[in-house]
Chain A
């Protein structure tokens, strides 16, 4: 399980199910021991699925400048189905897993198409995070908002600076994606295709990933 490198969300789920069967009795005992504490937590949450508030309770997340965008991504329907619209109020484990699966590491042997597919999926996730009104483009307002939040904690940079940086970045995107613009042209925002183009060199498939599987279970089940 630890070294499994699933290629897509389905495989990941299958692997998880397989691992489920491998959980040792000791682990179960430890889990049982920690049961009272966790039951208390569930009671506190009134047994409901995960809500936004639950994310806001995560201690380390408090200092994250783009917390709201990240949390929102967990409730964004677009990340669960291809043509989902709007956001959910609460999510279950299945949804949580789906969002997490966007952060899986690439497998050792992937074909070019698989890589491209993973890349698109990951970028789509990022794109959705920026494109809050789901109109297929990241408009200047949306982008400014993200940049402002992003820089809001870096101390010396004021709001105006953030705005300036966002504008400059937008301009860059415009010049990259459209090229030479005619005088009366109007760049209304970054489309997903542009997004793919500008982040071509980011090698996202090798960077947007997190190590989940070899985590120390003792930390979780204390």
Chain B
């Protein structure tokens, strides 16, 4: 028995090691053995059931192989990929893999079938492209894109088809069983610029955004034209030359509009559906990220079902829904969608390129016709250039900002053909088109030529021509503000000269959109705080907060490890009861907060807490969010093994103990600061005259002058604004109400050895600026600027909080003239 098991194990390992090609060969032998051994042994402990898993197993293995291929391309060959684009490298790897398969099987068992390509590989790439489409840029250049996509593609198809036919008639290709219509069909399938190839190559080149959107938009939208041309000519071929009359041609033209606009419209319909769905997912946030994939794919399939343009459908679905679903979904889901989208798109792109390579190693499809291939290459290349230059020449008469000659060169050179053309060629019906294999092999040659050769030369060309590159800019608030102002200025100037121009339309659309469409498609709460500027502001604040933490950690763990002595035990008893009172509320607040950071942020009124000392609790929410991040960051090591499995909730850091601990640490450091305030030369009361902004809050402090905590808070607010926000927030909540005593609180208090960094005084002299944007008037008040200066000398906690007091006293006189009081 054991030998039998060992045998099976060994075989399994063997099969796993020798990837699928050999597996194919083993299959027959395998089942043979299988039967034999079943007869011998009665009961089997381990059964080898290759046939049960064959199909999915092969798929997954190929995915793995493609993934490893990509990995090796990226990781192992940095100097190669700087010359050859990734897509080209993947095709080359495909050649090699195909060679291995061929060597093993002596036939090509694996190839890219049109069904797989169009139904399982292409949709996610298009969805990804459209979901991440820079909408403003896209719609601003939509006119030009459409001209290139429609007129350009028609021109290419017709010109290539007719020229090839002409050459054929002239006898350049020898004898072939082919007619004018077949040539036109071939022209239509070879004419479309391929989105997958274009994305892959242009992503690495970083040309300027207008150029990119023109090429990219064209490649996405010309699919409608290609599909129609393809269908029409295929129908014509089926009908046969003589039976085509004016009606048929007219039908063909009508079908173009139906297919293209019908597909786009369908996409928009599904986008609306998607937005409405995500509008309702407040309570099931965990699945909302899935909707976009499901509905997007559905739009693709539905369009396919009605024989409309599926690519256009999914494109418009993605383009139209992105704004609303991003606002509707919680931030986590948005992140999930983004990553999943990129993952899927990247994955299938890799698979497509690898399989484009593998497909080539097949004797069956190669019918070499030198004349046909070379002429096709030349015509494809030349007519693309002619088309682009001619259309740009016309467009430049109407475009406000003309397209430059250099950009035109890159555009025409960027006419890459890819898997779509191959897919269409592979779909041809061999009965009607006798020369199908010639077409397939020519298409493959064109694809390899454009993707590999043009892809390689694209980068040097762009550099040599000094094409304006994309300015790689970080998220800058100033720029966005200026952009906003800009739009208004342009619209205003148009108003003043009484012209109904682009800006007028843009503004009109924006108003309409804000009034009706957002109302329909967005969550009411999302509507409120979706302002673009605000979201950027928010993002930058978060970024600062994260930077702050990581910077603090990088500076050394010393700042984060507080010694036991730092804890002030004397004060513990004194405030014992007060702490206990606060506990329940605190926990309550934290508990809610934990469920989803973003949901709180979204649900609350979006006000930013630059005015951190403001009394309105809502104002501190933004920073509180940042603090949540800080907390998560710091406590990560512990929460790892505190996962509770739940299918619908994915919130970490939910343990109550942890919350208690956080609270205790907070309280402890507050105590320390209180102590230091008491011990220092300047009592806390004086500090309150520190800054103008605080006077408000101070009034409050006076009213409850007996309340120690307010004093503490003031002290703290002065010392570090970041922590002040949080302090303030928490204080607001728990000083109001009294709760039940929590006896579990005290013992824990003694065991805590660490204190969150943002609560300790050491923060005062770190080199980092904590959440700069959250600080008011930072550039003007010198005491804020202290944070920018490398003042940190000692991380020792005991010293540092005394030092912090010293700082305050030193700054006091400097600040006095600034305060009115």
A and B together in one complex: yes
Residues of B contacting A59 in the complex (Cβ-Cβ under 8 angstroms): 495
* In the complex, number of A-B residue pairs with CB atoms less than 8 Å apart: 190
Residues of B contacting A170 in the complex (Cβ-Cβ under 8 angstroms): 779
Tell me, yes or no, whether A58 is within 8 Å of chain B by CB: yes
Which residues of chain A from 69 to 107 have any CB-CB distance to chain B below 8 Å in the complex? 70, 74, 100, 103, 105-106
Tell me, yes or no, whether A64 is within 8 Å of chain B by CB: yes
Tell me, yes or no, whether B740 is within 8 Å of chain A by CB: no
Q: Which of A16-24, A41-49, A154-162 contacts B (4 or more CB under 8 A)?
A: A154-162
Tell me, yes or no, whether B486 is within 8 Å of chain A by CB: yes
Contact A202 B485 (CB under 8 A): no
Please report the C-alpha to C-alpha distance between residue A119 and residue B486 in the assembled complex, in whole angstroms: 14
Contact B495 A60 (CB under 8 A): yes
Which residues of chain B from 253 to 284 have any CB-CB distance to chain A below 8 Å in the complex? none
Q: Which residue of chain A lies nearest to B773 when distances are taken between CB atoms in the complex?
A: A168
Contact B779 A108 (CB under 8 A): no
With most chain A CB atoms within 10 A of its CB, the pick from B485, B498, B609, B786 is: B485
Q: Chain B interface residue count: which class?
A: 35 or more
Tell me, yes or no, whether B397 is within 8 Å of chain A by CB: yes
Contact B614 A150 (CB under 8 A): no
Contact A163 B785 (CB under 8 A): no
Choose from A55, A169, A183, A198 the contact partner of B782 (Cβ within 8 Å): A183
Please report the C-alpha to C-alpha distance between residue A184 and residue B531 in the assembled complex, in whole angstroms: 35
Contact B776 A157 (CB under 8 A): no
Contact B485 A66 (CB under 8 A): yes
Contact A140 B780 (CB under 8 A): yes
Contact B606 A161 (CB under 8 A): yes
Contact A202 B482 (CB under 8 A): yes
Residues of B contacting A105 in the complex (Cβ-Cβ under 8 angstroms): 400-401
Tell me, yes or no, whether B58 is within 8 Å of chain A by CB: no
Choose from B491, B775, B788 the contact partner of A183 (Cβ within 8 Å): B788
Q: Which residue of chain A lies nearest to B605 when distances are taken between CB atoms in the complex?
A: A156
Q: Which of B286-294, B431-439, B469-477 contacts A (4 or more CB under 8 A)?
A: B469-477
Q: A64-B488, A70-B492 are in contact. Are A168 and B610 (CB under 8 A)?
A: yes
Q: Give chain A's interface secondary structure class.
A: helix
Contact A156 B528 (CB under 8 A): yes
Tell me, yes or no, whether A185 is within 8 Å of chain B by CB: yes
Tell me, yes or no, whether B533 is within 8 Å of chain A by CB: yes
Residues of B contacting A219 in the complex (Cβ-Cβ under 8 angstroms): 498, 500
Tell me, yes or no, whether B794 is within 8 Å of chain A by CB: no
Residues of B contacting A147 in the complex (Cβ-Cβ under 8 angstroms): 481
Choose from B501, B531, B780 the contact partner of A210 (Cβ within 8 Å): B501
Please report the C-alpha to C-alpha distance between residue A151 and residue B481 in the assembled complex, in whole angstroms: 9
Please report the C-alpha to C-alpha distance between residue A206 and residue B619 in the assembled complex, in whole angstroms: 39
Residues of B contacting A168 in the complex (Cβ-Cβ under 8 angstroms): 477, 537, 540-541, 610, 772-773
Residue numbers of B with Cβ under 8 A of A are 210, 396-397, 400-402, 404, 471, 473, 476-479, 481-486, 488-504, 511, 528-529, 531, 533-534, 537, 540-541, 605-611, 614, 619, 772-773, 775-780, 782, 785-786, 788-789
Residue numbers of A with Cβ under 8 A of B are 3, 55, 58-61, 63-67, 70, 74, 100, 103, 105-106, 108, 126, 129, 140, 146-147, 150-151, 154-158, 160-161, 163-176, 180-187, 198-203, 206-212, 215-216, 219-220
Extra contacts, 16 of them, besides A160-B619, A170-B779, A171-B775 (Cβ < 8 A), are A60-B495, A61-B492, A64-B492, A155-B531, A156-B528, A156-B605, A157-B607, A160-B614, A161-B606, A169-B481, A171-B779, A198-B478, A198-B479, A211-B502, A215-B498, A219-B500
19 interchain pairs (CB within 8 A)?
A65-B488, A66-B488, A74-B496, A161-B608, A164-B611, A164-B776, A169-B477, A169-B478, A170-B779, A171-B779, A182-B789, A184-B785, A187-B780, A198-B476, A198-B479, A202-B479, A206-B210, A210-B503, A212-B497
